[in-house]
Chain A
Amino acid sequence: MSLSRPAKWVLRIATILGLSVIYVPLGIVLLNSFNSDRTFAWPPTGLTMQWWHSAWENDGARRALWTSVQVGLGATAVALVLGTMVAFAVGRFRFFGRNAVSLLVVLPIALPGIVTGIALQSAYHSVVQPLGIQKGLFWVIVGHATFCVVVVYNNMLARLRRLGGSFEEASADLGAGPVQTFRYITLPLVRSALFAGGLLAFALSFDEIIVTTFTAGPGIQTLPLWIFTNLARPNQAPVINVVAAVLIVVSVIPISVAQRLSADSGGGRL
């Protein structure tokens, strides 16, 4: 590299500063989950496991966790199917309106979440509810899947572009039908990208709060909604801190796995 030594040092220091700003707040949440002081006096005077214990016993948090898992799995399943289909269409075909299709896939995350949320709420109010369909978990999954599609799509498209189409052509030349080619050639080649996209879609859904607020029916509480409702209750603060600490630790695992799997797609796609 042709940058001078001082320039490299400036960049190195900027990166270290940036990373520490990113990680210090997360570290403090982790540390505070052991802070024995109920109001998190800083710096901590003593450490305790008490909050972890009471968080484990908390029924509301457990129920919310289960709801989040259900929504995440539902949205990920829909996103995997739809995202893969669009990625194949855009990556393997040339057709009129191809750019419009890829813009349409990206639009749900390019527009603010509150727009998606209020749009789905309006649609529910004017179209779906008159049909007699209850909100339930179903509408939350619809909302989440809409913006999860793009994550699967991006990961798959990057993989398809890198692979090119020659393997599939060779398979077809050797007499395999489309289904056979997909089963024995394409699927094994894209499986890890599919898995990475699925993990990220799940993480995105697990984390979503704005769209959930607008689409959740009465009595439905995902983990982010539970945290948000309980933020206003000071006596719940230590438990929230533990749930937050758990979320930080838990999210690291799928992300590092996904990152490892999609390492070929240009250093990680959104």
Chain B
Amino acid sequence: MVRSTSRPFASWLHAHAKVRLVALLSAPMLWLVVAYLGSLAVLLVSSLWTVNSFTGEVIRTPTMVNFRTILTDDVYRTVALRTVAVAASVTVIDALIAFPMALFMAKVASRSARHWLVIAVLTPLWASYLVKAYAWRVMLANGGPVDWFLGGPGRGPGYGLTATVIVLSYLWLPYMILPIFTGLDRLPDSLLEASADLGARSWRTIRSVVLPTVVPSVIAGSIFTFSLSLGDYIAVQIVGGKYQLIGNLVYINFGTAGNLPFAAALATIPVLIMVGYLLAVRRSRALEQL
């Protein structure tokens, strides 16, 4: 105490935890609330504006005309439904592939093998998104490796909606494996042994003990796979052929059409879907697994 009284500011800071907390939170909250939430607020407000079709000027009078167009025009409904269907397929495919891999990593592989497996799965997560999408463009090209593997040009799926689902599942797979692996890693081995001692065979143990405990992890992973697929427009452009998703429409209205308000209105679709999704899964404790 002798030393700290010689530094009045330090001891005052030590005594006032609230001040320390406010000091820690001020800058990050300023950034996230002003730059991020502020931008989201501007996005929502500007989705109510319109553009003068002759001058290209933004008219800042709130109207529902953008949303009326989205709700009544068949094109937007089709694209929105297609996007949700793609995102849902990607999520299901990823969960089906990720679960056995994560289970092997967490409960079967030896300690040293586990370490390398985690690195092997993490590496492509951070390797360039574009490179991976591009790799599949090469793979799925007419007469490319996939066609060759399946027996000749035109045998593979080629570019299109199937290719988009394949590529998106590939891109987001690590986002699903990691939370499931973390969840399974926390599951004590003794529970599995108890299940076996009580006479359950492997499949029964997996179904009744393992699966229920990984549900929050799967939901945590699905937040990523679903959300990332909802907003994607690059992979579709690279392997999707003529198909479009919501992201493409947002991008076209932002860029070539120069209609920022309408792009903003379209972007509220994935926001609403994701907010609804997050609220729906809030009680499953999945958010703590992110």
Q: How far is the CB of B266 from chain A (nearest CB, A)?
A: 9
Whether A10 and B1, one on each chain, are in contact in the complex, defined by CB atoms closer than 8 angstroms, is: no
Q: How far is the CB of A220 from chain B (nearest CB, A)?
A: 15
Which residues of the partner chain A approach B127 to less than 8 Å between Cβ atoms? 26, 207, 247-248, 251-252, 255
Which residues of the partner chain B approach A179 to less than 8 Å between Cβ atoms? 10
Whether A178 and B270, one on each chain, are in contact in the complex, defined by CB atoms closer than 8 angstroms, is: no
Which residues of the partner chain A approach B154 to less than 8 Å between Cβ atoms? none
Per the bound structure, the CA–CA distance linking A270 and B256 in Å amounts to 34
Which residues of the partner chain A approach B105 to less than 8 Å between Cβ atoms? 15
B181 close to chain A: CB less than 8 A:
yes
B88 close to chain A: CB less than 8 A:
no
Whether A270 and B118, one on each chain, are in contact in the complex, defined by CB atoms closer than 8 angstroms, is: no
Whether A251 and B260, one on each chain, are in contact in the complex, defined by CB atoms closer than 8 angstroms, is: no
Known: A114-B267, A227-B134. A259 touches B39 (CB 8 A): no
Report A87-146 residues with CB < 8 Å from chain B CB: 88-89, 93, 95, 101, 103-116, 118-123, 125-127, 142, 145-146
Report A67-89 residues with CB < 8 Å from chain B CB: 78, 81-83, 85-86, 88-89
Q: Mark B165-179, 1 if CB is under 8 A from A, else 0.
A: 000001001010010
Whether B290 and A119, one on each chain, are in contact in the complex, defined by CB atoms closer than 8 angstroms, is: no
Q: How far is the CB of B263 from chain A (nearest CB, A)?
A: 6
Which residues of the partner chain B approach A185 to less than 8 Å between Cβ atoms? none
Whether B119 and A256, one on each chain, are in contact in the complex, defined by CB atoms closer than 8 angstroms, is: yes
Whether B135 and A29, one on each chain, are in contact in the complex, defined by CB atoms closer than 8 angstroms, is: yes
Which chain B residue lies CB-closest to A245?
B131
Which residues of the partner chain B approach A28 to less than 8 Å between Cβ atoms? 135, 138-139, 145
Q: Which of the residues A11, A126, A214 comes within 8 Å of B254, measured between beta carbons?
A: A214
- What are 14 A-B contacts defined by CB distance under 8 Å? A3-B107, A14-B104, A15-B100, A19-B117, A25-B132, A42-B144, A86-B28, A114-B251, A115-B231, A146-B31, A177-B11, A210-B233, A254-B126, A256-B119
Whether A111 and B227, one on each chain, are in contact in the complex, defined by CB atoms closer than 8 angstroms, is: yes
Q: How far is the CB of B11 from chain A (nearest CB, A)?
A: 7
Whether A244 and B39, one on each chain, are in contact in the complex, defined by CB atoms closer than 8 angstroms, is: no
Among A3, A24, A112, max chain B CB count under 10 A is at A112
Per the bound structure, the CA–CA distance linking A170 and B130 in Å amounts to 49
Whether B42 and A177, one on each chain, are in contact in the complex, defined by CB atoms closer than 8 angstroms, is: no
Known: A42-B144, A178-B13. A123 touches B128 (CB 8 A): no
A166 close to chain B: CB less than 8 A:
no
Whether A85 and B25, one on each chain, are in contact in the complex, defined by CB atoms closer than 8 angstroms, is: yes
Q: Which 6 A-B pairs have the closest CB atoms?
A: A112-B231, A177-B10, A2-B196, A25-B135, A7-B202, A123-B39
Known: A15-B105, A18-B101, A115-B231. A2 touches B135 (CB 8 A): no
A266 close to chain B: CB less than 8 A:
yes
Interface size class of A (residues with CB under 8 A): 35 or more
Report B257-277 residues with CB < 8 Å from chain A CB: 260, 263-264, 267, 270-271, 274
Whether A85 and B27, one on each chain, are in contact in the complex, defined by CB atoms closer than 8 angstroms, is: yes
Q: How far is the CB of B257 from chain A (nearest CB, A)?
A: 13
Q: Which of the residues B118, B141, B228 comes within 8 Å of A267, measured between beta carbons?
A: B118
B160 close to chain A: CB less than 8 A:
no
B40 close to chain A: CB less than 8 A:
yes
Q: How far is the CB of B267 from chain A (nearest CB, A)?
A: 5
B84 close to chain A: CB less than 8 A:
no
A55 close to chain B: CB less than 8 A:
no
B201 close to chain A: CB less than 8 A:
yes
Report B1-60 residues with CB < 8 Å from chain A CB: 1-4, 7, 10-11, 13-14, 17, 20-21, 24-25, 27-29, 31-33, 35-40, 42-43, 46, 58
Whether B14 and A178, one on each chain, are in contact in the complex, defined by CB atoms closer than 8 angstroms, is: yes
Which residues of the partner chain A approach B118 to less than 8 Å between Cβ atoms? 259, 267-268
Q: Which listed segment binds A: B63-71, B72-80, B187-195?
A: B187-195
Whether B138 and A40, one on each chain, are in contact in the complex, defined by CB atoms closer than 8 angstroms, is: yes
Which residues of the partner chain B approach A204 to less than 8 Å between Cβ atoms? 126
Known: A82-B28, A112-B228, A207-B126. A1 touches B178 (CB 8 A): no
Whether A114 and B4, one on each chain, are in contact in the complex, defined by CB atoms closer than 8 angstroms, is: no
New contact pairs (5) apart from A114-B247, A224-B128, CB-CB < 8 Å: A22-B120, A115-B231, A175-B3, A213-B251, A267-B182
Per the bound structure, the CA–CA distance linking A214 and B195 in Å amounts to 53
Whether A40 and B128, one on each chain, are in contact in the complex, defined by CB atoms closer than 8 angstroms, is: no
Whether A248 and B128, one on each chain, are in contact in the complex, defined by CB atoms closer than 8 angstroms, is: yes
